[in-house]
């Protein structure tokens, strides 16, 4: 299988991230391999700030260059911003006039045959047990606007190393970070429909339900019905 060329910055990240993730965890992967070429939208859960590092290595081990939709604020961090630009990552502008620019850049990347990895939850899950939250519908817009494989995947184990909300970093003993890939999701029933809010929500929930099913496999346990809602949890706490 031919390896997609990523350039200097991707190579530099690989030199750093491969030994780092290998030191922190065993990294078993199961499920079908990612397509070796062409545009791919990879949809995953998000439980730790370490996820992008482990997921980037996982994608790279599948001979693809990982490209993320990431918060635009990261581009303002010295060194980090330079690496993100050099590695061809896609900034996400939320609640600004530049929000549409994020989708345009993502659509262009998929049209050019790139692999784009997205965390539809938008941030690490606030669910105390680590299950997915209600997700943003941008993933549905991308999935329906591009005739590319939309592949769900789930990863579990990174929060045991670094729990961002509780500020706990536990590198030892060495953990296990498991990734499970799914089959491409068939969205043909939705592609000819108008992009209403209802359609976007249905497609988003369909994709995240597939992710949750894969997360159940990775964790070896049954997940909850539906998705965690921070707003609903806050209201219940006030009652």
pLDDT tens-place string over residues 117-173:
999 999 999 999 999 999 999 999 999 999 999 999 999 999 999 999 999 999 999
- For residue 109, name the pLDDT band (cuts at 50, 70, 90): very high
Please report the pLDDT score of residue 202 as a whole number: 98
| DSSP 8-state code for residue 72 | G
pLDDT at residue number 77: 84
Distance CA 57, CA 18 (A): 6
pLDDT of residue 97: 54
User: Beta-carbon neighbour count of residue 206 at 10 Å?
Assistant: 19
Higher pLDDT, 112 or 80: 112
Average of per-residue pLDDT across 76-103 = 75
Sign of CA dihedral 16, 56, 54, 83: positive
**Token representation of residue 217:** 């496999």
5-24 pLDDT tens trace = 788 999 999 999 999 999 99
Position 231 scores a pLDDT of 86
* The predicted structure's pLDDT at residue 100: 65
Tokens of 175: 């953990």
Give the span between the Cα atoms of 206 and 31, in whole angstroms: 19
Phi/psi for 108 (5° steps) reads: -65, -40
- The number of CA neighbours under 13 Å toward the Cβ of 141 is 14
Q: Mean pLDDT of all residues in the chain?
A: 91
Q: Give the separation between CA 165 and CA 89, rounded to whole angstroms.
A: 25
What residues does 154 pair with on adjacent strands? 180
Band (pLDDT 50/70/90 cuts) for residue 44 is very high
The burial of 115, by beta-carbon neighbours within 10 Å (0-12 exposed, 13-18 middle, 19 or more buried), is given as buried
- Token pair listed for 214: 């894969």
- Extract the tokens encoding 191: 């592609």
Compute the 3-state secondary structure of the chain and give helix, strand, coil in percent, each to the nearest 5: 45, 15, 40
Asked if pLDDT for residue 183 goes beyond 90, the answer is yes
- Residue 72 has φ and ψ, to the nearest 5°, of -60, -25
- Give 33-160+177-224's CATH code, choosing from 3.40.1130.10, 3.40.50.720, 3.30.70.20, 3.40.50.880: 3.40.1130.10
Domain segments of the chain: what residues? 33-160+177-224
Q: Which two tokens stand for residue 34?
A: 């990612």
């Amino acid at each position: 299988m031919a390896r997609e060329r990523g350039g200097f910055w991707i190579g530099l990240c690989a030199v750093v991230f491969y030994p780092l993730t290998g030191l922190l965890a065993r990294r078993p992967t199961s499920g079908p391999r990612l397509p070796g070429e062409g545009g791919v939208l990879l949809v995953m859960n998000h439980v730790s700030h370490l996820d992008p590092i482990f997921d980037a290595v996982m994608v790279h081990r599948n001979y693809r260059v990982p490209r993320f939709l990431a918060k635009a604020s990261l581009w303002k961090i010295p060194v980090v911003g330079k690496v993100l630009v050099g590695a061809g990552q896609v900034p996400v502008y939320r609640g600004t006039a530049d929000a549409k620019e994020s989708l345009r850049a993502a659509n262009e990347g998929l049209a050019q045959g790139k692999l784009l990895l997205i965390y539809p939850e938008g941030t690490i899950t606030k669910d105390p047990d680590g299950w997915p939250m209600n997700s943003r519908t941008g993933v549905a817009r991308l999935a329906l606007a591009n005739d590319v494989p939309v592949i769900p995947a789930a990863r579990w184990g990174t929060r045991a190393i670094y729990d961002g909300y509780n500020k706990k970093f536990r590198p030892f003993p060495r953990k296990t970070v498991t990734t499970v890939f799914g089959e491409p999701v068939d969205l043909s029933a939705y592609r000819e429909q108008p992009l209403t809010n209802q359609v976007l929500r249905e497609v988003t929930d369909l994709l995240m339900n597939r992710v949750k099913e894969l997360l159940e496999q990775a964790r070896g346990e049954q997940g909850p019905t539906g998705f965690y809602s921070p707003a609903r949890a806050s209201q219940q706490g006030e009652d």
